[in-house]
Structure 1
Amino acid sequence: MIELVIDQRRKDLGGFEVGRVLPYAKRRAVGPFVFFDHMGPVDMPAGLPRTVDVRPHPHIGISTLTYLFDGEITHRDSLGVQQDIRPAEVNWMTAGSGVTHSERFERARREGGRLEGIQAWVALPDGQEEIDPSFQHVGTTELPTWSEDGIKGRLAAGEAFGMKAGVSTFSPLHYLHLELEPGARFQTPTNHSESAVYVVSGLVEIDDGRPLGHGQMAVLEKKIASVVCALEPSTIMVLGGEPVGERFIDWNFVSSSKDRIEQAKADWRAGRMKLPDMDDQEFIPLPADPTPPANPMS
């Protein structure tokens, strides 16, 4: 059964729009998922300006989970990693005590092309918010897939239906990508206390009730399985897990402590957070900062 429906809100990131779903005023998180952005779909022309890229910026207290349906993003971070992210792969960067990274559209700049994907933030549990930052890139061979009864599925992270993805997570969760043919029916997992269904494209019905279309997320009742029926060809993401407790979000910083967030803001403003090794010539200033930021360390 549906507890709440959340409609994406369009946000301009300075060159292209995303559909923001989480956090939402009436629902700050689903399990450990505290942020959920639908990037695109957008057709990027060859030669697009660098101003469209996401310049270096910081994070604390989370793992970022980037998953694409179309296109390519070049990731660079302060751990020295450079990695191209392609469809059906998982880019899992754990910020912990602090990391910086950039996301650039270099292939689209050369060739043009379509971009679509989801970026989610997974809050780190108590006792692990300040772990050392790390990075994982997980290819398609490490993500379990299945196909039956009009459903093509991939487990992108966590555990569900006896399967486990090759991503080292820090708390119980599930994150599934499903392609549904018209009439296909999928029963949501109940191995975690919270779960939600997000419609990337198409139209579905949950428990033979309210239709759910592009850009909508249905937060489901806790621990109760729901049946998702595709009314037309549809792509959905199913996400959930165990809550990690209250988390505060300010810009790109997430923590159980407001004081820790203020410290992170001060560190970024003062230039105490190292920029990506291979992308250290520019950065995103702290929003609405009344004083110009120092040049972060390279």
Structure 2
Amino acid sequence: MIEMVIEQRRRSLGGGLEVGRVLPFAKRRMVGPFVFFDHMGPLDLAAGVDRGVDVRPHPHIGLSTVTYLFAGEMMHRDSVGSELAVRPHEVNWMTAGRGITHSERFEKARAEGDHLHGIQAWVALPTEFEETDPSFSHHEGADLPQWEAAGVRGQLIAGNAYGLTAGVKTHSPLFYAHLDLDGGAKAEIPSGHAERALYVAAGEIEVGGMRYATGQMLVLSAQASHFTAVQPSTIMVLGGEPLGQRFLYWNFVSSSKDRLEQAAADWRAGRMKLPDADDKEFIPLPEDPAPSAPAMS
């Protein structure tokens, strides 16, 4: 039932902000179109926290970023003019396409302190949409259907699952959901997708007689149909159809190494527009310009 278990690896983003990186992983670069998966926190940020914890303006191509919080608040600003905070159980969905820049700032935390906990994922775009116009959308309420049954409280973040459809525009078949389970509760795993995974954001679950805990992603076989919470747990359920080979370098994703090199050159030369409301600083290109190993879904 479990093809692979991926343990999060702790990574510092600077300024005291640390994440648990799950995807990409050396032996499993993607799950469906999901090419990047970071677990942020849980982390307490004291009032007056240094601006070094912020994620300064930086670029993307060839993907959609998906920011989803269990707790806390982040302020998003981007080069298409968006300026909006994301709060718990809301979704910021940013499609980079041919190129976008954005920042993520912890302004609420700086003013009054905050408790941050959430997930940031990247969804690779199909080849025909890799150079689409950049865009941003924010979703809450009816856009993100919720349900509750037998000790399971769910919210659909994107795609189609559990007989529901989220209001987020996606570019390929996928599903992404947040489940909170009481201890002993059993939850269904959506079927009908070529690749699927569970991520334990908090708690402990049992699948096929084996137990798995916080910080583990379970890549599932076609036979996996349900799991049980050993204790109160928060689980992300995700998957979709594979897109084929993708190359990754820094914040760029593409089916073409040449396109990655062009994006790196554009950022180095200052040819990518910064957010109007946040254009005084940016993250420079890393020293090594070589594209990373390919990601295969």
TM-score past 0.5 threshold: yes
Corresponding residue of 1:269: 268
1:214-269 deviation line (CA, Å, top 9, x unaligned): 00000001x33332100000000000000111101100000000000000000000
Corresponding residue of 1:243: 242
1:273 partner letter: M
1:18-72 deviation line (CA, Å, top 9, x unaligned): 0000000000000000000000110000001111100000000000000000000
Corresponding residue of 1:170: 171
SS in 1 for 2:127: coil
Take 1:14 and 1:97, find their aligned partners in 2: how far apart are those partners? 27
Give the drift of 1:289.
5.7
Take 1:84 and 1:141, find their aligned partners in 2: how far apart are those partners? 18
- State the superposition RMSD in angstroms: 0.9
Corresponding residue of 1:191: 192
Take 1:76 and 1:236, find their aligned partners in 2: how far apart are those partners? 28
Corresponding residue of 1:296: none
Corresponding residue of 2:11: 11
Tell me if structure 2 keeps the 8 A contact 1:10–1:19: yes
Corresponding residue of 1:55: 56
Give the drift of 1:113.
1.2
Take 1:177 and 1:194, find their aligned partners in 2: how far apart are those partners? 17
Tell me if structure 2 keeps the 8 A contact 1:206–1:226: no
Tell me if structure 2 keeps the 8 A contact 1:187–1:225: no
The yes-or-no answer on 1:106 pairing with 2:107 is yes
Structure 2 stretches lacking a partner, 5+ long: 290-297
Take 1:5 and 1:12, find their aligned partners in 2: how far apart are those partners? 22
Q: Which runs of 4+ in 1 moved over 3 A?
A: none
Corresponding residue of 1:139: 140
For residues 36-51 of structure 1, the aligned pairs below 5 Å read 36-51=37-52
Corresponding residue of 2:226: 227
Take 1:161 and 1:154, find their aligned partners in 2: how far apart are those partners? 10
Tell me if structure 1 keeps the 8 A contact 2:61–2:100: yes
* Percent of matched pairs sharing the same residue: 66
Tell me if structure 2 keeps the 8 A contact 1:160–1:191: no
Corresponding residue of 1:294: none
Corresponding residue of 1:159: 160
SS in 2 for 1:13: strand
Tell me if structure 1 keeps the 8 A contact 2:156–2:178: yes
2:234 partner letter: T
1:119 partner letter: Q
Structure 1 stretches lacking a partner, 5+ long: 291-298
For residues 61-100 of structure 1, the aligned pairs below 5 Å read 61-100=62-101
Tell me if structure 1 keeps the 8 A contact 2:191–2:225: no
SS in 1 for 2:14: coil
Tell me if structure 2 keeps the 8 A contact 1:40–1:116: yes
2:12 partner letter: D
Take 2:141 and 2:3, find their aligned partners in 1: how far apart are those partners? 33
2:144 partner letter: L
1:25 partner letter: A
SS in 1 for 2:133: coil
Q: TM-score, normalised by structure 2?
A: 0.96
Take 1:257 and 1:77, find their aligned partners in 2: how far apart are those partners? 25
SS in 1 for 2:283: coil
Take 2:111 and 2:48, find their aligned partners in 1: how far apart are those partners? 6
Take 1:289 and 1:242, find their aligned partners in 2: how far apart are those partners? 32
1:57 partner letter: H
Give the drift of 1:288.
1.8
Corresponding residue of 1:212: 212
Take 1:31 and 1:197, find their aligned partners in 2: how far apart are those partners? 13
SS in 2 for 1:47: coil
